[in-house]
Amino acid sequence: MTQSQRVLVTGASGYVGGRLIPELLRRGHSVAGGFYDVYKADGFWWSDRIDAVQLDVSDKEQVLAGLGGVHTAYYLIHGLGGDDFMQKDRDAAQTFADGARDAGVSRIVYLSGIVPPVDHDELSDHISSRLEVEDILTGSGIPTYALRAAILLGSGSTSFEIVRQLSERLPVHTVPTWMKSQVQPIAIVDAVKALAGCVDHDGESRSYDIGGSERMPYSDLLALFTKVAGLTRPQIEIPLLPTALVGKLAGQFADVPGSTVESLVESLHEDMVCSETDFRRDLLPEGYELVGVEAAFDRALADPADDADPAELDPVGPWPNDPDWAGGRVETNDDGTTHKKGLLRSVVDRITD
């Protein structure tokens, strides 16, 4: 049986944090949500069930105050854009690690990225920074569990939305030859279960690769999405396309911030698959079944349930607090009617902007 604990979730307004908090509450934990802007807490349906705290992870006093009395601290802070994001990640992680140690936190949980088996100097900046943050948090001396994921599948997930938006808006998929690397996605509902399972897990610091039961080339992932979405998108393989060019072009056709798209595309050169599956044994309930990729796509593409009880919503599907660029959002016409933004208009907008 789960023992109630005091838990802090940094990045509470983010995609993962916003779906993790209800799971922790369901398990009976006392939850503090860390917000860079604490007033954003009021927009979440679970806000009256948590302690919302102002928490800028670069502010030592705020970090120490937020960690007071906390058993498990979730570090869900990621930098993806800007020339200095690695330094910002490094400094913030060190401030948090120091604060957790001073506050007497029992364990730290960090959502990281799959690390391919290559020399460190061959890793993308995105993955290198994740590894560095792992090392800094572990260096606190507090048992630290780094859960490494590749692509999170679910409406509102940055990586899923890139797949969705590019598939919907580009009539042909141009696939660089280097994009044949393997990827092992995981549904957000499964990632949340594993993250929540860390509260009750005892053991030394370590990383866990978390992924679903299927692995496939990224090009096959795109093809499977178009099948589930009912789209026809032929793929054309193009050799020697520079990674930077692919990232910039993809950023032009997605609503996800361009710097984020470029950072994620950079990671597709290597296989992003699990080297072990220990998380299923250590962090998930016995007999738990992972969601398949096709089922996750189908659930992520569900229409928003505007009248549903938010507490009953599927974590894989759209939620009210997802980013404006996520899901099947509608636009308002001049006459007050609404429409979904279609392929041709999306492409024209990006060409003419």
With a CB cutoff of 8 Å and minimum separation 6, the contacts of 292 are 212, 213, 214
Predicted local distance difference test score (pLDDT) of residue 352: 32
Predicted local distance difference test score (pLDDT) of residue 42: 93
> 290: part of which helix (H) or strand (E)?
none
Predicted local distance difference test score (pLDDT) of residue 256: 61
Predicted local distance difference test score (pLDDT) of residue 247: 59
Predicted local distance difference test score (pLDDT) of residue 346: 39
Query: In this predicted model, what pLDDT tens digit does every residue of 206-232 receive, in sequence order?
Result: 999 999 999 999 889 989 999 999 998
Measured CA distances, 119 to 65, 129, 270, 275, 276 (Å):
39, 14, 11, 16, 19
The secondary structure of 213-258, three-state, reads CCCEEHHHHHHHHHHHHCCCCCEEEECCCCHHHHHHHHHHCCCCCH
Query: In this predicted model, what pLDDT tens digit does every residue of 39-56 receive, in sequence order?
Result: 999 999 999 999 999 999
- For the chain, which ranges sit under pLDDT 70? 1-2, 80-83, 178, 240-254, 256-267, 328-353
Predicted local distance difference test score (pLDDT) of residue 264: 65
